Chains A and B, each alone.
Chain A
Amino acid sequence: MTDLLASSAQTWRDRSADPPVIPDELRPPAHAGARERNRALWQRHDLRRQRAEDVYAASRNPVRGWPVSGNRAVLAFFGDLVRRSRGTFVLLIALNALAAASALVVPRLLGALVNRVEAQGAVVEGLDGLALAVVGVVVLQALFTFGAQRTSTYFGQDLLASAREYIVGTILRLPVGRVEGASTGDLVTRVTRDVGTMARSVQWGVPRLLISLSTVVLSVVAMLLNSLVLAVPALLVFSLCTPAVRTYLRRAPRAYITEGATYSRINTTLTETVEGARTVEALGLSGSRVRAGEDDIEVSAQAERYSMTLRNVLFAALNGAFQVPQVVTLVVGAYGYSRGWVDLGQITAAMLYVVALGEPLDAVIGEVDRLQVGAASTSRLLGIAEVPPDREAGDRLPAGVELVGEDLRFAYREGHDVLHGVDLRLRTGERLAVVGPSGSGKSTLGRLLSGINRPRTGTARVGGVDLVDLPLEVLRTEVALVTQEHHVFIGTIRDNVVLAREDSTDDAVRQALAAVGALAWVERLPDGIGTTIGSGRQALTPAQAQQVALARLIIADPHTLVLDEATSLIDPRTARTLEGSMNSLLAGRTVVAIAHRLHTAHDADRIAVVIDGRIVELDSHDELIALDGEYAGLWRAWTS
């Protein structure tokens, strides 16, 4: 054997020399003067921007993991959303506008009340009536507020639910290859945090933004009508903030996408730590897992600092642009008054308008920011949907049950084929055992033969139709695969068994469980087949989990079954008996059994020996023993 570790010296890394997760330039200088500190702050900001740009660039087209989608897709998504739920949107905005308007009317009316007191002196006519009218408006305002919030809730929750259901639906259709390489934490973060952020930003952000914007526009129009002389200078000052707003709008999406990515990372690491709690404890990894968590938080903190500075710059600019006009109005007003261009009333009104702009403007800034966060989440969500499906169901149905693989080649990583042209014709009703060294490509072959992955070249066909062109419902009635990894879903035992045929009766479920020797322990559980199992519920032993997986297969009842080490965790003797009883139950079905325990091979009709991605021997046990080749060697080793 050649030395596989030939390059070891080049790739081994001395971890004591690893750079810190956060380069030192990103930490504030310890001892420095104010000017130096200020300079360092902006340097850090630039560096953080660079990092955000890098993260964004990488996540548009990630090597592994999930992409994020571009701005165009996000806009299209929102456009579509608005179009689809136009009615609700209109109602939402109308109610919000009414609530906002009545909120404005109250002070007006109170002002009128005061004016009346002022005008009429001590004895006021109709004071109580006016007060009652204001109470009426307040009640209306409360009702509108309730209506607006209620509509928002309905709309938002609806959006939230349909978005997450849509995303989970998408995930269920994703090519397995992509799901495997990507981190669960990222996906789950997107389904939870990002869906929530997106829905909130649409639910609250959009109506509030529109209302605040229209308040701003109305105020500006009122200013112009009031006095051109006073309005124009103020408006000029307003416009000074445009560059800052532009910069913010250009940078914020990437900043928020980067932020989202760091939270995904935090969740991924934490999920691994919690799920692998026992391994962590056994190997004394607690310290390093805690450190890994801290590192993720450090990185996330940098992303937060970047977006915080972006917001601060924007706030400062907007504050300046919208507060300074107060001073400008005052000074220009005084000059205009001395020239006789404006009167006192106009100056007062202009000032009130400028001041009154403050609140809706604050709201506009806040909501724009919220929408930016929402847009970033949306592009992370849509990124999942951007992954192209790897199968497109055709309309041909298989003619016959014969499964044939021809010239199958497959690569997980481009340029690294793990199967090198496998030809395999399954005989209907036979038991074919697949054996061979670990890592030689047996599971991969199993996946191709059950239509889970599309071969890079060659075809895997049943009855003349490519497996990957069959609709999933049809495919499942043709072949089913029990994978080497077992997973117990959160749900009842029944749910876990009936995967392939939801409408199975309880009796069928019991029969299937009995066939795999699981009925006895299932009946001992508190609620029998109705017991909830899975993560965080009733725990199953690995052997029990495998039995459940086999029961699934019996319910699925396809004509061809691929069993990938389906009994490896059950004790050998029971496993063998189990296989025997399953075989008689599955008489007439074609079974491909991948196994390291060679009694499976011994009991099979034919044996395929896979070495390095090729089938090197294919015959019955006796023939292969007589041939005295790879299989015979393996058999001798196994039985020695």
Chain B
Amino acid sequence: MQDFPPRVATFFTGTDDAPSPDPDTRSPLAFLRWILRQQTALLAVSSLCYALWFLPMTLGPWIFGRAVDQGIVGGSTTALLGWAALLLGVVVVGGVFGVVSHTLVVRSWLVGLYGTLEMVTRKAAQMGHVLPRRSPTGEVLSVASSDSDEFGALTEVLARTIGQLASYLTVAFIVLTMSWQLGLLTLVAAPLILGVALPLLRPLHRRQEVERSRTSDLTSLATDIVAGLRILRGIGGEQTFGANYDRQSQSAKRAGVAAGIWQAVVEAVGVLLSGLFLVALVWLGAREVESGELSVGELITFLGYGLFMVGPIRTFFEFAQKGVRSLVSARKAVAIFEQRAPWRDPSEPVALDGTASLVDSASGLTVRPGILTVVVSAVPEQSAALADRLGRYLPADTDPVPAEDDEDARGRAARRARTERARERARIAALDEERATREWGVTIGGVDLASASLAEVRRTVLVSDTGSQLFAGTLQDAIDPHGRLDREQAEHALRVANAEDVYDALPEGWQGQLDERGRGLSGGQRQRVVLARAVAADAPVLVLVEPTSAVDAHTEARIAERVAETRRGRTTLVTTVSPLWLHHADRVVLLRDGTVVAEGRHADLLTGNDDYRHVVARALDDEEAVR
């Protein structure tokens, strides 16, 4: 039987020996069914325990009646004690199953919740840089932070519903044996009542969807404000963004109220229908007493059972409502989970030779092996794009598509908008796939990157771009995230990046804590730690994009010298226009409009190429001195 935290091994496949099958994402309903199927055994047992918790409650009055008849009125102490012991037994059994059901239900709730959380992490790990191309980050996170809980709640209410269903059927059966008319009424009542209420669930569903989507936007907004607080403090705008948040919060509130009122309607209808059922039952029973088909005693029993049935019927209602809520959540989850990484590893992947030359056909660049090449471009974006190509990264040229949007649209318009978005997502996915599966256009040792597995490409070529992020953790974790280095290697990496001062600034040394995104470091320190991490990874081909844009000239000179020194014999490519790197470059390539227009040694290009000089020269005594 499943226990929490669940073992999830779906999506991410990097290090799993036994991946589990992916969830069914053909439709939100299919996804919910999949979630529930994951814990069939657990759900079965907790339903059973619920039934065993509820059923004894029906026994109490019966035992009490016997005890009065035989024990108190009949005056038999033995009988009394016997019935009292039985009652005690029933109470204890009920209590035990109450505790057991609680335990199991917490378990299945958390299996659902934690399982979803793990799947989000694993999806992000599987998709890597492709996920943000397609889905807004906030949406991915809100599947984890709010939808996961809905799935947990669904498992709980499902188990309770099944338990109640069992007691409902039991009671219906008993009633059926006493009067077939009333028994039939009891049996059809629940489906009938639910059937009547079902049309109410659709508007509820729509309103909950709107609420869910506004709340998710609100979360994104809060995250955004927190992330940008420093900027706001520097220049103002607290009011603007506070007001933006308030506005969004009010609109989420309106959506919440709209959904809440429908929920109240559904609830009230539930109360009304189950009450009417009860009255009908007793009234019909009284009629039958009149016609002599039923005894008064049986009518009393009917009343008792009728009252008992209200519980299950209300639970069925609750199930329907929570089911609707989880359908809303399931649609969001499916929008994330259904995505597939575009990469298809070739059937016979070729091993890459990291010591061979790297050729990019789009720019005409050839990176010779074992030396330091510097790419100079007047437009930094173009060298960044080149680096992306060399590392087999899809360019960030798409707008992510949210699962829900355009929330005011209703009915057909909403459906159309949804189809539209689905189509856009499919378009991006197809585009990605098309790019990812055809020849990539970059070869290493004559082998196109697409002929090797992606893991092999990542192992061979490391691109450290300007967006590289530091994660919260110790300095040691930052430099050596894999735990593969020994201390000397880590020290060496820190020295190469001239980041010794970071070590020194942390009282706990290697164990000093770095904040999320390295926020407690100076801009240049952050950049140097990122560089040290890249150097420490010791990839056969290292591509550094503007690695020293935030450090001073002395530091930059030291870094350039040390990187050149330590990477000697392995292929290194740096994009920058700083002469301090160019001095150490074995070869310099000049890019214009994304294609190679000149290459050679720095000194030669400086004298021989006006364009080049124009881009890199720093002598300021020319006409450009402003002011």
Contacts and interface: CB of A to CB of B under 8 A. Distances in A.
Nearest to B127: A277
Nearest to B557: A637
A513 interface: no
Interface in B206-224: 215, 218-224
Interface stretch (A82-90, A216-224, A241-249, A598-606): A598-606
A500 B402 CA distance: 30
A142 B290 contact: no
Contacts of A300: 5, 114
Contact of B620 (A10, A323, A535, A602): A602
Contacts of A549: 231
Contacts of A64: 513, 515
Contact of A122 (B110, B146, B290, B459): B290
Contact of A316 (B95, B306, B515, B552): B95
A124 interface: yes
Contacts of B598: none
Sorting the interface of chain B by its residue count into under 10, 10 to 19, 20 to 34 or 35 or more gives 35 or more
Contacts of B228: 487, 489
Contact of B223 (A103, A188, A580): A188
A433 to B, nearest CB: 12
Nearest to A358: B57
Contact of A9 (B138, B253, B487): B487
Interface residues of A, number: 193
Nearest to B149: A193
A315 B68 contact: no
Q: Tell me if A's interface is mostly helix, strand, loop or mixed.
A: helix
A573 interface: yes
Interface string B225-242: 111111111111111111
B146 A192 contact: yes
A473 B238 CA distance: 10
A117 B12 contact: no
Interface stretch (A54-62, A148-156, A370-378, A420-428): A148-156
B1 to A, nearest CB: 14
A480 B522 contact: no
A364 to B, nearest CB: 15
B118 A294 contact: yes
A127 B275 contact: no
Contacts of B549: 568-569, 596
Given A16-B483, A301-B114, A556-B235, A319 B95 contact: yes
Given A290-B122, A326-B87, A491-B244, A284 B482 contact: yes
A8 B236 contact: no
Interface string B1-40: 0001100000010110000000000000000000000000
Contacts of B72: 333-334, 337, 344, 347
Contacts of B224: 489-490, 534-535
Contacts, number: 563
Nearest to B467: A278
Interface in A75-134: 99, 103, 106-107, 110-111, 113-114, 117-118, 122-124, 127-128, 131, 134
A436 B521 CA distance: 16
B380 interface: yes
B94 interface: yes
A466 interface: no
A579 B144 contact: no
B362 interface: no
B522 A486 contact: no
A172 interface: yes
Given A7-B509, A268-B472, A304 B265 contact: no
Interface stretch (B324-332, B353-361, B576-584): B576-584
Interface in A578-626: 579-580, 583-584, 596, 598-599, 602-603
Interface in B244-300: 244-246, 249-250, 252-253, 256-257, 260-261, 263-265, 267-269, 271-272, 275-276, 278-279, 282-283, 286-287, 289-290, 292, 296, 299-300
A571 B536 CA distance: 28
Interface in B51-73: 57, 60-61, 64, 67-68, 71-73
B307 interface: yes
B271 to A, nearest CB: 5
Contacts of B122: 290
A245 B213 CA distance: 40
A19 interface: no
B275 A538 contact: no
B399 A5 contact: no
B513 A438 contact: no
Nearest to A188: B223
B64 to A, nearest CB: 6
A141 interface: yes
B533 interface: yes
Contacts of A113: 282-283, 286
Contacts of B222: 164, 168, 187-188, 191-192
B348 interface: no
B102 A311 contact: yes
Interface in A165-209: 165, 168-169, 171-174, 176, 179-181, 183-185, 187-189, 191-193
A270 B462 contact: no
B43 interface: no
A553 B235 contact: yes
B125 A435 contact: no
A569 B272 contact: no
A553 B384 CA distance: 27
Contacts of B125: 273, 280, 286-287, 289-290
A334 to B, nearest CB: 5
Interface stretch (A29-37, A225-233, A401-409, A539-547): A539-547
B396 A539 contact: yes
B45 interface: no
Nearest to A169: B242
Nearest to A636: B553
B103 interface: yes
Interface string B535-566: 00100000000100111111111000000000
A526 to B, nearest CB: 9
A450 B140 CA distance: 37
Q: Specify which of B88, B124, B624 lies most central, judged by the most chain A CB atoms within 10 Å of its CB.
A: B124
Q: Specify which of A184, A333, A577 lies most central, judged by the most chain B CB atoms within 10 Å of its CB.
A: A184
Nearest to B454: A281
A506 interface: no
Contacts of A397: none
Given A279-B469, A539-B396, A312 B300 contact: no
B226 A179 contact: yes
Given A286-B125, A437-B554, A438-B550, A323 B94 contact: yes
B283 to A, nearest CB: 4
B544 to A, nearest CB: 12
A161 B226 contact: no
Contacts of B300: 114, 118
Given A117-B286, A290-B122, A330-B84, A452 B233 contact: yes
B420 interface: no
B235 A481 contact: yes
B227 to A, nearest CB: 6
B572 interface: no
Nearest to A191: B222
B238 A279 contact: no
A429 interface: no
21 contacts: A114-B282, A131-B279, A135-B275, A139-B272, A150-B261, A157-B256, A171-B225, A267-B144, A271-B141, A280-B128, A282-B464, A286-B125, A294-B5, A323-B95, A439-B502, A480-B235, A498-B237, A535-B223, A541-B381, A562-B234, A571-B577
| A-B residue pairs, 4 tightest by C-beta | A536-B136, A438-B524, A499-B237, A153-B260
Given A288-B482, A535-B223, A602-B620, 16 more contacts: A12-B490, A13-B476, A107-B303, A117-B296, A142-B269, A183-B472, A271-B141, A273-B124, A288-B481, A319-B91, A331-B84, A416-B505, A439-B501, A489-B225, A495-B240, A537-B136
